[in-house]
Amino acid sequence: MILRMTEVFEKFAKEHNAVIKYTLDTHLHADHISGSLKLVQLTGAKYWLPPKDADEVVFNYNKLDENAEITVEVFQKWKGVDGNVIQLQ
């Protein structure tokens, strides 16, 4: 049995009104747990994977090069009294 734990990510995104835009794995076999490819198929997210592990990959992915720097930005939304949504960065 292959275990893919996408439910925890899907549930978190739904509960927090978040959108899954990117997934990444440090190596291809990590997908057996993270379920990144399944999340990509469900959400349209972009998949990042080290090219050294992607020799036999038959799906689209973005190259996650060694020593690459990843910046994570957190956005918060606040609904004002007038109902307008303000995005804070």
Give how far Cα 47 sits from Cα of 50, 64, 86, Å: 10, 9, 29
What pTM, to 2 d.p., does this model score? Answer: 0.68
pLDDT per residue over 11-67, tens digit each? 888 888 888 999 888 877 766 677 888 899 999 999 988 888 778 788 888 888 888
89/45: higher pLDDT: 45
Please tell me what DSSP assigns to residue 55. Answer: T
Calpha distance 84→70 (Å, rounded): 31
Q: Which two tokens stand for residue 21?
A: 């835009």
- The helix (H) or strand (E) run that includes residue 61 is none
**Residue 28 — φ and ψ, nearest 5°?**
-55, -40
